[in-house]
Chain A
Amino acid sequence: MELSFGDALAKILGTTGFTGLTPGHGVMLVVSCVLLYLAIGKKFEPLLLLPIGFGCLLANLPFSMMASTNEGGLLYFFYQGVKYEVLPPLIFLGVGALTDFGPLLANPKMLALGAAAQIGVYTTLIGAVFLGFNLKEASAIGIIGGADGPTSIFIASKLAPHLLAPIAVAAYSYMSLVPLIQPPIMRWLTTPEERKIKMEQLKPISQTVKILFPIVATIVCCLMLPGVTPLLGMLMLGNLFRESGVTARLHETSETHLINIVTILLALAVGSSMTADSFLRLETLKIILLGLIAFAMATAGGVIFGKVMCKISGGKINPLIGSAGVSAVPMAARVSQKVGSEEDPSNFLLMHAMGPNVAGVIGSAVAAGIFISLFGDVGGASPHAQSAFEAVAHIVSLP
């Protein structure tokens, strides 16, 4: 084969990315650079926004074959871990290995704060339907209010895969903005006297309870909501590695190397799904707006329920710890500590806030399980049970 100098030059120039560059690519390259700036310059969730931003950059280089839709490309294979819901549960395994449920077990009533904060999920669901999304899409958007990245990705890939990129970006961006979003809402909803409340020292918990909790919680929650099993089961397995005391190597791997590797794969895969045709749409702006509402409502729900618990307990519970029910471990608990110590520097709320904080992880996983039960493909009931459920649904006019 002979090539003249001119032909060779023309062929090389014809295959450069410049020839395939569209305005959409250009905008997405700017978006990726903004994400990289937020991660490196502003240190907003850098462990996630940096690989997401770089994945977005790679996916939007023409002819690079790095978008999640480019079959055979490198990031296409990474994306299969998201598509087949493998990576988010593995992140939960690492989170479980990192999480100490001790503060929650010492004061189990804090689980109610984790439940109350899920109000953000459902107000956003209603808002999303109001803005024109269908129920599956609205559920995937609503779960942003759980302030849990892996759960958001898990639900989005299951119920609305075409919205995965904006949902993941909104979830992680707002999680990094928790220290900015939450304090004004917390101060607005509480009085200085409430913010000064000092809570009693937490009781110590036996190691037997710490070992039993992940096993019992898995059985209770997963029997009630089987759809939650991949997330909650992995979370509790990671925690059992931690507490059992007999799997030191598995515990160490889960909380360090495994979670780090999976984070790289997951974030790059999410970034690779941020192509111009999937991201540059009006829906993205709507999702970003709804995400902010979700976080604000979740914070407000937690704080208001904290005030209720404060009244019921005779002023023994500081309502500020309710805001930590939004998950986002441990940042939300740190925010409770910070706002509390602004009012009284000798008030230490951090350990108390860790209870609702880890309860928020369980709460958001349960909220995800409900969406999967309603809209996912969880099969199971016998024909007799199914007809009974249909009869109940008919009576209460369930959708």
Chain B
Amino acid sequence: MDTATLTTPLTISVIAMSVIFTVLIILIYTIKVMVYLAPYEEPPAPARTRPNPTAAPVVGSRVPPEIVTAITAALGAHLGKSPGEFQVTQINPGQ
């Protein structure tokens, strides 16, 4: 095995390792930029509501969920609160 034959794979190895490090270092800085631009934010803690223990839950009633959603959204707009801040516990379609 002459030296010239081994020079070629050696050259390829040096160049290839340089390319791998270059590509991955570019990725490192790309990730750093992304993390800087879109930092992690704590998700808002879910609002604690006190359900009325005497009222029957809406879940399980005959009122369809989309009606409950619509009523919740309308109440939220009326009261100036977000839907997470209160809970509809009873809907009586008869009244």
Residues of A within 8 A of B (CB): 104-105, 108-109, 111-112, 114-115, 118-119, 121-123, 125-126, 128-130, 135, 138, 203-206, 208-209, 212-213, 216-217, 220-221, 224-225, 359, 362-363, 366-367, 370-371, 374, 397-399
Contacts and interface: CB of A to CB of B under 8 A. Distances in A.
B13 A125 contact: yes
Contacts of A203: 40
A226 to B, nearest CB: 12
Interface in B6-53: 6, 8-13, 15-17, 19-21, 23-28, 30-32, 34-35, 38-41
A361 B39 CA distance: 25
Given A129-B9, A130-B6, A213-B34, 12 more contacts: A108-B27, A108-B35, A122-B12, A203-B40, A213-B31, A216-B34, A224-B26, A363-B24, A366-B19, A370-B20, A374-B16, A399-B12
B5 interface: yes
A209 B35 contact: yes
A367 B20 contact: yes
B1 interface: yes
Contacts of A221: 23, 27
Contacts of B12: 122, 125, 135, 374, 399
B31 A105 contact: yes
Contact of B25 (A112, A118, A125, A138): A112
27 contacts: A104-B31, A108-B35, A111-B25, A111-B28, A111-B31, A118-B17, A122-B13, A123-B13, A126-B6, A129-B5, A129-B8, A130-B6, A138-B9, A205-B35, A206-B38, A206-B39, A209-B35, A209-B38, A220-B26, A359-B24, A366-B20, A366-B24, A367-B20, A374-B16, A397-B11, A399-B8, A399-B12
A359 B20 CA distance: 11
A123 B17 CA distance: 11
A126 B12 CA distance: 9
Contacts of B41: 206
A111 B30 CA distance: 12
A130 B35 CA distance: 45
B23 A108 contact: no
B40 A362 contact: no
Contacts of B11: 397-399
A366 B38 contact: no
Contacts of B34: 105, 208-209, 212-213, 216
A111 B8 contact: no
Nearest to A359: B24
B34 to A, nearest CB: 5
Given A135-B12, A209-B34, A115 B6 contact: no
A129 B6 contact: yes
B30 A216 contact: yes
